[in-house]
Structure 1
């Protein structure tokens, strides 16, 4: 190799090939292609060309094969079947009002929460009345008699922490569940 060479060698150890012409990083053509493939496979977060039809999010992940909604993973460009009603997703919700927690269930969370005075939607889990009754029995020791409201307890706090693990926003979680349900029904 000549010491006055103007084109740098590839940065990959033991490669020895010259860097690709015009490359922003000193990589040979083969290693530059590998790096590009690797970057494309991991996707690139960006604003969707239009809001997601499943959850209305604007954030997407761009792959070589197309866009996915970053919120619910709906494939951009696919439209939900307008002839079908929105999928039913039953959830058990956990609300906080002052120092009390309500455990309830609904298939229409926004409408249900509008009817209940609360300070915070703490967590969600998929489930219907059977799951709700199971949670009522699980935390019966701290239940306010004749209601669906519960006093704080270490057991309830641990359960809520497990439901919240990895979930930044319960509404986004619900949007994802709805999108999954819509995709599964075809």
Structure 2
């Protein structure tokens, strides 16, 4: 969970989304989540299968955002759901014990409920203002720290995190960071991921 890449086709240009993910994998990302709002189900499935194959080559877990049915169809490693999506306990009943479940939370109460419902990890944010999700409310570092203290499962911070502010999360107890634009808008995605991985490693070492 140290360096978690969340896709966004906003920056698809000379490279395809799969090409961008491959570059991120070469740079050391440790998880990939496919977030897709525009494609129909069959296009989404084909894209998921292609990117999942890339992730398998690097032994990196592959997650689908929101779409539990599609995650099951492509046999993804996991699925990530938000507070407005299906309840985590219902997701667990559908996917069984083998598939990992991530849940977006914003409060200690939501975090505890997700952990008790069967979540394997939590995504907490937005930590900083972000153009990727303009309606996201900011979570304070104090709340992030309280969430990390309240649960025993991994916690990943997300939202507006980049190389200039990543180390500000040191001391919160967070296990890793999930990044969107900081990765996929980079001119050299592989080099940027290597830098970000180093920073995320430094962040966790500062916890000790």
TM-score by length of 1: 0.24
Kindly indicate whether structure 1 or structure 2 has the higher relative contact order, using CA contacts under 8 Å at least 6 residues apart.
2
TM-score by length of 2: 0.22
* Higher-helix-fraction structure: 2
